[in-house]
Amino acid sequence: MKKAIQFGAGNIGRGFLGQLFNRSGYETVFIEVNEKVISAINEKKCYTLKIVGEKNLEFVIDNIRAVNALNVENVAGEIRDAYIMATAVGVNILEKTAPAIAAGIKKRHESGVRQPLNIIICENLLNAGKILKGYIGRYMNESQLKYMETSVGFVEAVVSRMIPVVPDNIREKDPLVVMVEEYGILPVSKKGFVGHIPEITGVIPYDNLEAYEVRKIFIHNLGHSSFAYLGYGSGCSYIWEAVDNPEIKQAVNTILNDSGRALIKKHGFTPEDMKEHVDDLLKRFSNKSLGDTVYRVGREPIRKLGYSDRFIGSARLCMQYGISPKNIINGVLACLKYDYPQDNQALELQEMIKSKGIAYTIESVCKLNPSDELSEMIIKEWERMR
């Protein structure tokens, strides 16, 4: 049985990649720091994956074990004879995986392993392949770098599966159980692979992954967040409630229509493909069984108002192609108004607006110059709304 190494045994690791590897006939070795999760995996040798939605299904994900990520020597030994590897640790943790991955690549080099090792990078980070390669390269000499260049592939991926928080009463009984939606497609960058592309169920290589990365941010993330902030402003607690509200649904549709038109012009998607994608997302967002809250989806509004993130990034793209961002600005305003008291960024944002003013906030958070046309449009709509 071929071996897959999975850095991170969290929601994406167990709830997505673990399933894909299992369905493709791999033994999966999870590299994790949570001792409770490590012990549970090594004791049970399997976990339950629940698919929730129109069809409620359960799968047992077996042929698994776990190794503590802090034991670099053990991790390197596992990497030495691995066939495929993936990361799903979070952007802030990715750099910390570099020493162990580097040690594993060194062992493969020393052992004369010629079989390429491709690393599927499932992090919410543009240029993730180049960034991870740079992190790992810090720990290598010239000979090892040459080996990595020819024998290790850095494959970027676009993760779109939605994975809700498992209720406490279920997690207390079983710390490994994970709940997911049925959607199970993982687009990856074809050009990132070295050598033969491994066959993994659900993994689809694309020549131009950038188009799908941007579509994820400017359609999926934009739509999800718009439902969260507009829903919060209308008293909704769950995303499905916001989707069920005709006014909110229409508002989000117009937001996605404008962003979609810009993506069609930039990346060559067809109008039919874009409509099918949006319709599918709306159906997935309405899944009550996910129990996804507007508070979880709306968390960290300052980050979501970043220059290249979902709201400002899509608005800028629209303007680049002569499309008015007026509808997207409605989403920006809803985000600026988000004041959920248990979200530290929401409170920080409200205090900034109150003490420094909207113009300062737009410049500081969105990184837009005060004279920028988009900045002026947002401020004008903010004042008109107030």
Distances (CA, A) of 160 to 34, 208, 220: 25, 17, 8
Q: Is the pLDDT of residue 381 over 90?
A: yes
Model pLDDT for residues 137-180, shown as the tens digit of each residue: 999 999 999 999 999 999 999 999 999 888 888 888 899 999 99
Q: What is the pTM of this model?
A: 0.89
Whether 366 contacts 306, CB under 8 Å: yes
Distance CA 243, CA 58 (A): 27
Phi-psi sector, 157: left (phi>0), alpha (psi -120 to 50), beta:
beta
Contact 336, 229 (CB under 8 A): no
Domain with CATH 1.10.1040.10 in the chain: 211-385
Q: Where in the chain is the domain with CATH 3.40.50.720?
A: 3-207
What token pair was written down for 99?
């020493």
How does DSSP assign 319-341, residue by residue?
Answer: HHTT---HHHHHHHHHHHT---T
The answer to whether 239 and 297 are in contact (CB under 8 A) is: yes
- The backbone region for 367, taken as left when phi is positive above 0, alpha when psi lies in -120 to 50, beta otherwise, is left
Distance CA 381, CA 374 (A): 11
Per-residue confidence (pLDDT) for residue 165, from 0 to 100? 80
Class at the top of the CATH hierarchy for domain 3-207: alpha beta
The answer to whether residue 350 scores a pLDDT higher than 90 is yes
Instruction: List pLDDT tens digits, range 110-119.
Output: 999 999 999 9
Predicted confidence (pLDDT) at residue 192 exceeds the cutoff of 90? yes
pLDDT at 168: 83
- Closest by CA to 255, choosing from 334, 337, 331, is 331
Q: For the ranges 266-270, 289-293, 300-304, which has the lowest average pLDDT?
A: 289-293
Domain 211-385 has CATH 3.40.50.970: no
Give me the residue label for tokens 């997690």. 171
- Alpha carbons 206 and 208: distance in angstroms, whole number: 5
